[in-house]
Structure 1
């Protein structure tokens, strides 16, 4: 096992900071800072907030499995921020904030789920060929 730089409680706090940051920042961006001209505010907020609500109970409880699968949801925000950085110069600063929050949640959540899973004795089952080698 490699030496762990961050403790699991610190990784959890970092991941939750990124998560709750996205949960607050996305509606703020879409309603106040730069509302979309093509979409209604309700639709745009729904598209970017509802996916974040699915993992909320498991994240608050600290379930490592939830932190792992929540990373699939975070990819929406990661890709949205990269696309916005590329195509919308006037919103680059907003996209940079979204990218930072999504990256924080992704990387801290990944390591939290790995290390917390190890602490709890969870892991992937190895097949017999790998066990014998």
Structure 2
């Protein structure tokens, strides 16, 4: 006999609120990174007056934004890997640039970490919910 998801010894199931919260946290982090990249390179600390071509680094972030808004599990998985490129850029520029660019780099690092954690938790919660749904369907 298998234990039901509501058995007293089983861990509590993650709620849909947790899944929704991580979804919006991930989406918000990507949006914040896009805004940060554009503002950083065009307005706040451009390498050249009038802006920099480095602002184009915001374009690849628009690709996962669509998948996150459509709540596609695959997007959460691959964006949690791709975000490390932005994290690396932030760390390098955080150590090598001068303020205010240095401060913006550390904000980028923080947003990357928030995005990674949100994506990781989102995937885990959705997988846990799917397993729980299968278990309840199997016991019926």
TM-score by length of 2: 0.73
Instruction: Compute the displacement of 1:96 (Å).
Output: 1.5
List gaps (5 residues or longer) in structure 2.
1-9, 132-140
Is residue 45 of structure 1 aligned with residue 55 of structure 2?
yes
Alignment match, 2:95: 86
Cα deviation, residue 77, structure 1:
1.2
Which structure 1 residue ranges, 4+ long, deviate > 3 Å from structure 2? 1-6
Shift of 1:13: 1.4
Alignment-derived partner of residue 135 in structure 2 = none
The match for 1:95 is 105
**How big is the shift at 1:94?**
0.7
* 1: CA distance, partners of 2:47 / 2:71: 35
CA distance in 1, matches of 2:119, 2:86: 15
**SS of residue matched to 1:7:** helix
Where does the alignment leave 5 or more consecutive residues of structure 1 unmatched? 122-133
Q: CA deviation at 1:2?
A: 5.9
Q: 1:2 to 1:84 in 2, by over 3 A?
A: farther
1:114 Cα shift? 2.0
RMSD: 2.2
Larger Rg: 2
Is the contact made by 2:31 and 2:65 (CA closer than 8 Å) also made in structure 1?
Answer: no
